[in-house]
């Protein structure tokens, strides 16, 4: 049996079990406790009453509530139909009792020595039946309301998941071209300086492109692969920068493998080189990446150079903003990001922590 079949079978079994328990307790066990020899016509009438309640329940759940109660401006229609249905079912059950001669038979069973006098007014038995019909209508209305709420909530969550998935795809589609645009500019500049280094850079770039093509399509990738990708990027960037730029790396060599969103760390590292290097001034870049007890900690520090080389021709790119949005969508409250761009040392500092546990 498939999971879908099981999901449909379980509610059906619950319904059958509930009706069996109700039928046994109210329509069978309760009359047997009267200690009176009841005519068989009484049990026929009990069967009809039970079927009427089942009919009212599912008619209300699947037709009356969805078509009237949940429709704007049709609440009064629903109440009118419910009252009319109750009246019609009372008339039907009363005709069945007359057809079975049940009032006279029940009188003889309970008062065998008293003469039978037909009573055409509402009796306590009739009020009991009305109460049962109203109870069936009330319970079925509650069930239909809960089912609608669950359905609406499930739809809302699905729409939210689809929206987040679409937004993440859009953000990743923006981040990847943004990164390669900068990198190709680096290689273009390198071809006029050192052709051999440019060839090496193209080789590194090809490895990085394979990662982007195959890993960023996934929701998660191994942290070790993400780190290898970052190392390739750093090697590529070191070929571009001058001796005036001091790069300090502290990336854990042996790291416990876990999963992380692909290319969620790179924009912060790329930002160090994009805004922290200058051909005329001394610059300093520090990158630290550690994993401790499932907590990934990335810390970057770079000198803020007003004359920095903005390789994409802009002072602020879309990569960092999109990465912040991705972090919020993927990790929610399981990450913290602190950015300090105003300090006496004139440094741009990023402190990112992600709970990957």
For every residue of 4-51, which 3-state class applies, written as one string?
A: HHHHHHHHHHHHHHHHHHHHHHHHHHHHHCCCCCCCHHHHHHHHHHHH
Residue 201's nearest CA partner among 190, 213, 214, 212 is 190
Does 149 share its domain with 199? no
Is residue 132 a part of any domain in this protein?
yes
- Report helix, strand or coil for 239: helix
Does 281 share its domain with 133? no
Q: Provide the domain count of the chain.
A: 2
Taking each helix axis as running N to C, give the angle between helix 223-240 and helix 266-276, from 0 to 180 degrees, rounded to the nearest 10.
Answer: 10
Does 137 share its domain with 213? no
Predicted pLDDT at 16: 61
| Angle CA 212–214–217, to nearest 5 | 85
Whether the Cβ atoms of residue 274 and residue 313 lie closer than 8 Å to each other = no
Predicted pLDDT at 266: 84
Residues of the chain with pLDDT under 70: 1-35, 107-108, 110, 112, 116-126, 159, 161-179, 182, 216, 240, 276, 278-279, 306-319
The b/e string for 24-55 (b: 16+ C-beta within 10 A; e otherwise) is eeebeeeeeeeeeeebebbeebbebbbebbee
- What is the pTM assigned to this prediction? 0.54
Predicted pLDDT at 169: 59
> Within its chain, how far is the Cα of 191 from the centroid?
49
Please report where in the chains the tokens 């009453």 appear, as a residue. 49
Residues 6+ apart with CB under 8 A from 147: 61
> Within its chain, how far is the Cα of 107 from the centroid?
61
**From CA 264, how far away is CA 168, in angstroms rounded?**
11
Is residue 100 a part of any domain in this protein?
yes
Does 140 share its domain with 198? no
Is residue 177 a part of any domain in this protein?
no
Strand partners, 284: 246
Does 38 share its domain with 144? yes
Predicted pLDDT at 286: 92
Does 138 share its domain with 283? no
Structural domain including 137 reads 3-154
Does 209 share its domain with 106? no
- Report helix, strand or coil for 190: helix
Half-sphere exposure at residue 245, Cβ-oriented, CA atoms within 13 angstroms: 26
Does 231 share its domain with 143? no
Does 337 share its domain with 235? yes
């Amino acid at each position: 049996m498939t999971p879908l079949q099981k999901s449909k079978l379980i509610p059906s079994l619950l319904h059958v079990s509930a009706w069996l328990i109700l039928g046994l307790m109210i329509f069978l066990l309760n009359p047997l406790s009267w200690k009176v020899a009841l005519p068989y016509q009484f049990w026929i009438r009990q069967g009809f009453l039970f079927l009427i309640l089942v009919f009212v329940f599912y008619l209300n759940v699947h037709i009356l509530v969805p078509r009237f109660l949940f429709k704007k401006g049709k609440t009064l229609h629903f109440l009118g139909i419910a009252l009319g249905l109750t009246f019609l079912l009372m008339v039907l059950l009363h005709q069945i009792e007359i057809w079975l001669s049940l009032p006279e038979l029940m009188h003889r069973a309970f008062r065998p020595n008293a003469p039978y006098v037909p009573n055409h007014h509402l009796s306590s038995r009739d009020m009991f039946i009305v109460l049962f019909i109203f109870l069936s209508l009330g319970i079925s209305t509650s069930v239909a309301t809960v089912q609608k709420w669950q359905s609406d909530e499930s739809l809302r969550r699905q729409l939210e998941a689809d929206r987040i998935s679409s937004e993440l795809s859009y953000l990743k589609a923006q981040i990847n071209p943004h990164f390669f645009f900068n990198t190709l500019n680096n290689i273009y500049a390198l071809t006029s300086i050192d052709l051999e280094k440019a060839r090496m850079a193209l080789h590194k770039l090809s490895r990085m492109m394979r990662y982007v093509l195959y890993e960023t399509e996934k929701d998660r990738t191994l942290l070790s692969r993400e780190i290898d990708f970052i190392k390739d990027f750093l090697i590529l960037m070191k070929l571009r920068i001058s001796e005036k730029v001091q790069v300090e790396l502290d990336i854990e060599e042996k790291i416990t493998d876990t999963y992380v969103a692909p290319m969620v760390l790179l924009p912060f590292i790329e930002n160090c080189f994009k805004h922290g290097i200058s051909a005329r001034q001394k610059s300093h870049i520090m990158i630290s990446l550690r994993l401790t007890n499932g907590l990934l900690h990335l810390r970057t520090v770079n000198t803020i150079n007003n004359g920095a080389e903005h390789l994409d021709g802009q002072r602020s790119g879309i990569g960092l903003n999109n990465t912040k949005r991705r972090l919020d969508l993927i990790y929610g409250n399981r990450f913290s990001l602190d950015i300090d761009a105003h300090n006496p040392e004139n440094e741009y500092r990023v402190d990112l922590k992600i709970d990957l546990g």
